[in-house]
């Protein structure tokens, strides 16, 4: 072939330091074995293919045929991943052997300084007292399910990912149950993993900016998913709790977000998600397009009433709650903090008032024919009412947000025969002329189904109130409003 350069079996190498025959030579991310010795500046030949015997870093290391072999800084073979991938074990090497036969790999360029592939626990950094401390700024890619066999992981700014949550994951058989499988500070992106353990995570972002973006991360059979404190944000998408519960939030957090997830509790006593009383959510808590399955003693979301979050920023949107357990606890749908819309299985949020009376016999006494007087009688507040307090013919807005509201009132009344009467909506005791509806009683002094409508602006936190007032323009004959129905709805 006219464009062929050479076979690639060997390469010329200019020595940057003294090299002995048989030494491993590292060139970028490629490795070879020196054919001859050389001094600084000498050009020697380096084998790039073949099987060579390489001294082991530790004779206790056991290599199986085909196992990846890595190179230490002292040019010894190790089972622990380093920046240089040497090759694969050509034959087995036992604990009593001082060397391992290695078939050199030409795929060293696929190894990156910031990436570590993990097939077993030995591919993680060597544990100290059972703790594998991940190297900062590195991404650990799991190629299968890895059992840490009683060990655990600590990190400071790292990433753990897999290829598929059905085939890649972490567990630690025999791990003490008083420590988390993964603990640390700083960013920890995770994706395409399944984590199975008694206590999964313990992450504290108090002292370091910590963003947690987890996608396709499943927690299986975890009675305590763990504690997350003071991350900048926590975002959990396309993931699942499978027979698991106990994810707790504490400290100051910008956004807590769940999107398109399945939360299947284990039936045990506790919440799937819990926001502690000492937690401050500075932007929002949002769960949307997710399913919560809560059976027996398991609760869905326990959001402490002492936790801090802005009004309308505890957001539940288009979720499904099922299983017969307790779905929400603490802050509920009617609280000013909540904005729950289009969910199934739970009561959704609204800013609405309804009150009514029927068969009323209490007269509204009129002092003159020019003024409007509040309708008297005992009204009943309907259970649908949220963010209003209803007393007799008065709906007081206790919501935190300002906005436009539609007021609709329907009433029937008795007064003098053929009297001209008027009704108006009143805001904070002042009647609104634009809502006025005149009518004339019949020969028996009866007028029915008088309908009023008005758009009003109510200010959050101001305790604005709505009433209905009436007037008799013909005589000072008292008016008895026998039926009254008032509905106030926030417009969006």
106-142 pLDDT, tens digit per residue, is: 654 445 568 888 999 999 999 999 999 999 999 999 9
Is the pLDDT at 163 greater than 70, yes or no?
A: yes
* pLDDT at position 429: 98
- The answer to whether residues 419 and 445 touch, using CB atoms and an 8 Å cutoff, is yes
Q: In the prediction, which pLDDT does 109 show?
A: 40
- Looking up residue 464, the CATH number of its domain turns out to be 2.60.120.40
Segment 233-248 shows an average pLDDT of 98
Strand 85-89 with 99-104, pairing = antiparallel
Q: How far apart are CA 408 and CA 486, in angstroms?
A: 6
* Average pLDDT rounded to a whole number, residues 5-21: 84
300-to-39, 132, 197, 198 alpha-carbon distances in Å: 70, 33, 20, 19
Asked if the structure places residue 357 within a domain, the reply is yes
**Could you tell me if residue 84 is inside a domain?**
yes
Domain termination site, one of 93, 110, 127: 110
- The answer, yes or no, to whether residue 73 has pLDDT greater than 90, is no
Query: Whole-model pTM above 0.75?
Result: yes
Sequence-separated (6 or more) residues with CB below 8 Å from residue 305: 277, 330, 331, 335
267 in any annotated domain: no
In a domain, 420, yes or no: yes
Length of the chain: 492
Query: Residue 439 has what pLDDT?
Result: 97
Q: What is the pLDDT averaged over residues 37-54?
A: 90
Residue 378: which domain range? 352-490
> Would you say 201 and 222 are in contact if contact means Cβ atoms under 8 Å apart?
no
User: Total domain count for the chain?
Assistant: 2
Q: Give the tokens for residue 261.
A: 């997830």
| Domain-embedded: residue 153 | no
Quick one: pLDDT at residue 158? 96
Q: Please give the DSSP secondary-structure letter assigned to residue 93.
A: B
Question: Looking at 110, 137, 171, which one is the last position of a domain?
Answer: 110
What's the confidence (pLDDT) of residue 142? Answer: 95
Q: Give pLDDT, residue 82.
A: 59
State the chain's mean pLDDT as an integer: 94
Check whether 3 has a pLDDT greater than 80: no
Of 110, 138, 163, the last residue of a domain is: 110
Q: Is the pLDDT of residue 213 over 60?
A: yes
Task: Calculate mean pLDDT across residues 334-350.
Answer: 97
pLDDT in tens, 457-492: 999 999 999 999 999 999 999 999 999 999 999 998
Phi, psi of 62, rounded to the nearest 5 degrees:
-115, 125
């Amino acid at each position: 072939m006219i464009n062929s350069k050479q076979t690639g079996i060997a390469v010329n190498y200019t020595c940057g330091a003294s090299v002995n025959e048989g030494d491993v030579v590292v060139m970028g991310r490629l490795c070879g074995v020196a054919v001859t010795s050389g001094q600084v500046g000498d050009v020697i030949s380096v084998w790039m293919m073949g099987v060579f015997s390489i001294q082991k870093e530790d004779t206790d290391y056991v290599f199986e045929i085909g196992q990846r072999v890595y190179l230490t800084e002292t040019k010894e073979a190790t089972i622990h991943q380093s920046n240089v991938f040497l090759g694969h074990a050509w034959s087995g090497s036992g604990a009593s052997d001082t060397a391992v036969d290695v078939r050199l790999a030409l795929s060293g360029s696929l190894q990156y300084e910031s990436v570590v592939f993990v097939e077993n626990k030995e591919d993680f950094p060597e544990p100290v007292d059972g703790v594998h401390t991940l190297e900062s700024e590195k991404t650990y890619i799991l190629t299968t399910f890895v059992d840490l066999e009683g060990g655990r992981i600590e990190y400071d700014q790292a990433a753990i990912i897999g290829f598929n949550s059905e085939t890649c994951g972490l567990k630690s058989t025999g791990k003490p149950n008083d420590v988390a499988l993964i603990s640390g500070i700083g960013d920890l992106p995770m994706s395409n993993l399944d984590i199975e353990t008694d206590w999964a995570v313990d992450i504290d972002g108090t002292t370091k900016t910590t963003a947690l973006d987890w996608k396709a991360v499943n927690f299986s059979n975890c009675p305590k998913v763990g504690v997350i404190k003071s991350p900048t944000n926590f975002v959990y998408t396309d993931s699942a709790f499978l027979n698991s519960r106990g994810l707790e939030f504490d400290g100051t957090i910008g956004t807590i977000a769940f999107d398109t997830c399945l939360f299947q509790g284990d039936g045990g006593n506790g919440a799937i998600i819990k926001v502690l009383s000492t937690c401050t959510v500075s932007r929002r808590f949002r769960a949307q397009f997710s399913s919560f399955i809560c059976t027996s003693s398991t609760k869905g979301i326990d959001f402490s009433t002492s936790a801090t979050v802005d009004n309308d920023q505890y957001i539940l949107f288009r979720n499904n709650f099922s299983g017969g357990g307790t779905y929400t606890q603490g802050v509920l749908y009617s609280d000013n903090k909540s904005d729950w819309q289009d969910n199934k299985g739970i009561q959704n949020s609204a800013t609405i008032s309804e009150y009514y009376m029927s068969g009323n016999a209490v007269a509204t006494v009129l002092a003159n024919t020019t003024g409007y007087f509040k309708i008297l009688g005992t009204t009943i507040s309907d259970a649908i009412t949220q963010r209003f307090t209803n007393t007799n013919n008065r709906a007081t807005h206790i919501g935190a947000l300002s906005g436009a509201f539609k007021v609709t009132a329907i009433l029937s009344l008795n007064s003098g025969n053929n009297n001209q009467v008027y009704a108006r909506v009143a805001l904070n005791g002042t009647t609104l002329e634009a809502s006025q509806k005149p009518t004339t009683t019949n020969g028996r002094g009866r007028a029915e189904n008088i309908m009023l409508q008005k758009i009003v602006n109510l200010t959050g936190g101001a305790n604005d109130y709505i009433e209905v007032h009436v007037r008799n323009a013909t005589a000072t004959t008292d008016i008895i409003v026998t039926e009254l129905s008032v509905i106030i709805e926030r417009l969006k």
